[in-house]
Every structure is written in C-alpha cells, then in structure tokens.
Amino acid sequence: MIHTSELEAHERASALSRTSMIHIQDVYKSYGPRSKPKLVLDNVDLSIAPGELVTLVGPSGCGKSTLLKLVLGQELPDSGKLLIEANPAGLADKRRGIVFQQYSLYPHLSVIDNVALGKRLSLPLWQRIAERKQIREEAMFQLRNLGLEEAIGKLPHELSGGMRQRVAVAQSLIMSPKIILMDEPFGALDPGSREHTQIFLLELWEKYKMTVIFVTHDLEEAVFLGTRLVILSQYYSDDRDDDCRRGSRVIQDIALSSRALSTEVKSSPEFNAMIDHVREIGFKPKHRLHVKDFNLSHPNSFRTLPE
Ligand code: ADP
Ligand code: MG
C-alpha cells in the first residue's frame, strides 16, 4: 500500500525533476564483483535547480567523486533516475564541464593552446581548421576575463598554482557548460591563493550563474562558497540490521545564507557556528543520525522511498 505522504513525496519529486538542472532520484551505485558488491551510494535523492552553487562534503570514501562521475556521465548508476534538464543524463557531453584539482593542463602546450584544445577537439576536423582563429580569440577572451592575460604564451610550469587553477577553469568555461563539476579543485593551493581563487569562483558564478557542484573536504570553504550545503555520509542509522553494509546517503541538505564577495564573513560567529555544526553532524562516525532526523530543509530537497 502506498501512503499519502509517499504519494506526495513522489509528486514533489516528479515536479522537481521537470524544473531541475540536475535531478538524482533513488540512485544506487556499487563497485566490485556482482557476487560481492560494495555499495557506495545508497538511495541518493538530490535535485539541483539552475544556478545553484552546491558544496558537497562528506567523510573520505563516502562517494563524492562517484556522484560527480555519475552526473558527468562517466559512470552509470546501478539503478535510479539521473536527469539533466529533465533528460536522462547519458554520456558526458559539452553541457557538463569538469574542473579537476589543477592539472588537466598539458605541460608542453602554452596556456592559450591548453584552453583552446578542448574546444578544438570537440569539433569535426574541417571545422577545427576553419575556426582556428575564432577559437584562439575565444580562448584569449576567457583568459583575459580570468586575469590571465600575461600568462597566455607561457607553459604551465611557469605559472603559480593559483594561476594554473584558473587556466583549468578557463579550459572548462570555453565550452560554455551549463554545469560545472569541481572535485576538490583548490586542494593544492596555499591558503592565500586559495582564498583569492574562492573569490574568483564566486565572481564567475555571479556573472554566468552556471550550476555548480563543488566537492571539498575543507568545511570553511564549503560554508563560504555554497548557496547550499549537502553532506553525503555512510555514517547514519536506520531500521536495517546493524551489520547491514550501508552506502552513503544525503544526511544534510541545507540552505546557506548568501554572503558578500568578501572573506570577512569567515570571522563571524554565525559562520563558525555553522562549520562546527557541519563537523559535528557529518564527520563524527560515532554520531549517527537516524534517517528520520536528517536535516533536509533546503527548499529543493526531497526524499522518496519509505524508510
Ligand atoms: P570520495 O570522493 O567521497 O572520497 P569516492 O567516490 O572516490 O569517494 O569512492 C567511494 C568508494 O568507492 C571508495 O570506497 C572507493 O574505494 C570506491 N571506488 C571508487 N571508484 C571505484 C572503482 N572504479 N572501482 C572500485 N571501487 C571504487
Ligand atoms: Mg573524491
């Protein structure tokens, strides 16, 4: 028998699936042999509206990168629904850009060639040749936009870490993706250039309002950057047997207060209280929330399957 609340949840999910940029519903993903699979994602529900900047955190190995690979189309879920603008996510395409922790850069190519390369390769050969000049100009435009004018002719090793990271962002932006997936992109930066790069990302996002999923293990970064914070975790309890091998679920999905483009907020009491809260809820293996007590208060949050 289906309860009314369950029915409501499904109707809500179905409404969200039509308007979302990214819609993940009842998604399971495991790795390993079929006889002994390791369940990583355990019934994940997450719906992201166009223009949200979602920061995703969770204990190491909880499946953050796996979730990004599913959204990118590099991996397929075992089951469940994965939609991009209401269509099955399918294979990777130009609508989805990924920014890695630095170095998707080819060491032997100049900065401008690195930025132009992806665009060139996405075109058929004849067009690649016909549009050579135009692509170069676009790459130039992106680099200028990102304050990398003087780096154009340099090789990656001649740049600072922060600059290389911006080149990696330019590589992604030149494809005009609607979705940008970032997997711990600033992890290798020193604190100073990391902070600059955070502001830079916020400025870009203000300008283009692309939909972003930003994975980080730095809680300060997560609370600072996001409009929404999602915690994925394998540490929770439910009514299954204690020895059940649980995969990760979204255990918290909350709206973050919007902040000015300044790092001053990082010293405010509210900001630090939020970080403490996230650490307590999401990162203490002993502190296991029951599924009933997950905080899924973000307006786009939903949950369909009964517990
Ligand atoms: P996170 O990014 O949160 O640290 P991952 O998504 O990288 O976690 O990995 C989640 C779990 O899935 C880990 O236990 C990891 O070992 C496993 N895993 C990830 N990718 C593969 C793969 N291609 N084959 C087998 N196991 C994998
Ligand atoms: Mg990872």
Q: Is the CB of 64 under 6 A from ligand 1?
A: yes
| Ion ligand 2 — residues with CB < 5 Å | 64-65
For residue 293, which phi and psi values (nearest 5 degrees)?
-105, 10
What pLDDT does residue 251 have? 95
Q: Which of 187, 182, 229, 219 is nearest to 201 (CA)?
A: 182
User: Which residue has its alpha carbon closest to ligand 1 atom 24?
Assistant: 31
Q: Measured in angstroms, how far is the CA atom of residue 26 from the centroid of ligand 2?
A: 21
What pLDDT does residue 5 have? 80
> What secondary structure letter does DSSP report for 248?
B
C-alpha to C-alpha distance for 276 and 82, rounded to whole angstroms:
32
* Helix and strand counts by DSSP (H, E) for the chain: 9, 12
Q: Is the CB of 278 under 6 A from ligand 1?
A: no
What pLDDT does residue 275 have? 93
**Angle (deg, nearest 10), helices 111-121 and 132-145:** 130
User: For residue 29, what are the β-bridge partners?
Assistant: 41
What pLDDT does residue 103 have? 60
pLDDT less than 70: residues of the chain: 1-4, 100-103, 258-261, 306-307
Q: Is the CB of 60 under 6 A from ligand 1?
A: yes
pLDDT, tens only, 259-299:
666 778 888 898 999 999 999 888 877 778 898 889 999 99
C-alpha to C-alpha distance for 98 and 55, rounded to whole angstroms:
15
C-alpha to C-alpha distance for 104 and 271, rounded to whole angstroms:
33
Residue whose structure tokens are 């790459």 = 139
What pLDDT does residue 121 have? 86
Q: Is the CB of 69 under 6 A from ligand 1?
A: no
pLDDT, tens only, 48-98:
999 999 999 999 999 999 999 999 998 999 999 999 999 998 877 777 877
Q: Is the CB of 61 under 6 A from ligand 1?
A: yes
